Amino acid sequence: SAVISQKPSRDICQRGTSLTIQCQVDSQVTMMFWYRQQPGQSLTLIATANQGSEATYESGFVIDKFPISRPNLTFSTLTVSNMSPEDSSIYLCSAETGSGSEAFFGQGTRLTVV
Amino acid sequence: AQSVTQPDIHITVSEGASLELRCNYSYGATPYLFWYVQSPGQGLQLLLKYFSGDTLVQGIKGFEAEFKRSQSSFNLRKPSVHWSDAAEYFCAVGALSGSARQLTFGSGTQLTVLP
């Protein structure tokens, strides 16, 4: 199994600013993912964070808005850039330990943009 | 592309009653299927998963789910609900994309448990 810690757990930010969310896993994992959960909605995959290469973004998400870093096998960051109220969501980090395994989730970062 | 439908947005049951949450999926190959639970302010916790083999899978907290290929369904069941089961439940299908498995989630079912 894997334990995932996300920081911050919540934040209130001014529009136009940026917030970086950190995701730390207690063991080395192959794949890490970032999801967005808008109020009252399900989870939508933003991107897959690849170690040593650029993240792979899903349709509707771009690197300029959501830059991602994955410097090693246990850590990743997601930045929400130039925020607007529409970015108010819960952002969740997920990790998979290997092909065929389950995905583990962090507790999420609740972001409110005012 | 894969998709997941959870037709029930909100279900209310009395404590001790049985529970069934519905999930239908669309995927062109044999799916990996998951049920997650999300309590308020928490991340997602895996209840159970189906990869292959026995179509009736047992999970944590007394939950089980049955994979029915002919109906493209993976319904979650519990014989006797406890008040602590009140939460949001998400069904998900995992599809391989390159070397990674991406999860597509359903819209969720909010469970309320009456005393």
For chain B, what are the domain ranges? 3-114
**How far off is chain A from B16, nearest CA to CA, in Å?**
27
User: B-chain residues within 8 Å CB-CB of A39?
Assistant: none
**For the segment A58-114, what is each residue's pLDDT rounded down to a tens digit?**
999 999 999 999 999 999 999 999 999 999 999 999 998 765 567 889 999 999 999
Contacts across the A-B interface (CB distance below 8 Å): 56
* Predicted pLDDT at B40: 83
Q: What is the pLDDT of residue B30?
A: 75
Q: What is the pLDDT of residue B38?
A: 92
Is B99 close to A102, i.e. CB distance below 8 A?
no
Q: Do A45 and B34 touch (CB under 8 A)?
A: no
Please give the C-alpha separations between residue B94 and each of A7, A52, B3, B51, B63, in angstroms, as whole numbers.
26, 24, 10, 9, 20
Structure tokens at B7: 């037709």
Nearest one of B92, B91, B82 to B109, comparing CA atoms: B91
Distance, CA of A11 to CA of A112 (rounded, Å):
6
Cross-chain Cβ contact B102/A4 below 8 Å: no
pLDDT at residue A1, as a whole number: 75
Q: Which residues touch B33 (CB under 8 Å, ≥6 apart)? A: B23, B25, B49, B50, B65, B67, B74, B91, B92, B93, B94
User: Contact, B35 vs B44, CB < 8 A?
Assistant: no
Q: What SS3 class is residue A33?
A: strand
Q: Which residues of A touch B102 (CB under 8 A)?
A: 33, 45, 48
Q: Which chain A residue has the Cα nearest residue B100?
A: A31
- Rounded to 5 degrees, φ, ψ at B10 are -145, 130
Name the CATH code of domain B3-114 (choices 1.10.287.70, 2.60.40.10, 3.10.520.10, 1.20.272.10).
Answer: 2.60.40.10
| Cα–Cα distance measured from residue B104 to residue B90, given in angstroms and rounded to the nearest whole number | 10
pLDDT lower than 50: segments of chain B: none
The pLDDT value given to residue B102? 77
Average pLDDT, chain A: 92
pLDDT at A99: 59
pLDDT of residue B62: 96
Diameter of chain B measured on Cα atoms: 47
The confidence score (pLDDT) of residue B52 equals 82
Q: Which residue in B24, B9, B102 sits closest to A47, CA to CA? A: B102
Tell me, what amino acid is at A106? G
Measured between CB atoms, which of A41, A99, A105 is closest to B43? A105
> B interface mutation test: which of A31, A102, A111 has the most B CBs within 10 A?
A102
CB crowding B33-64: b at 16 or more within 10 Å, else e: bbbbbbeeeebbebbbbbeeeeeebebeeebb
Q: Which residues of A touch B (CB under 8 A)?
A: 4, 6, 30-31, 33, 41-45, 48, 56, 92, 94, 96, 99-100, 102-108, 110
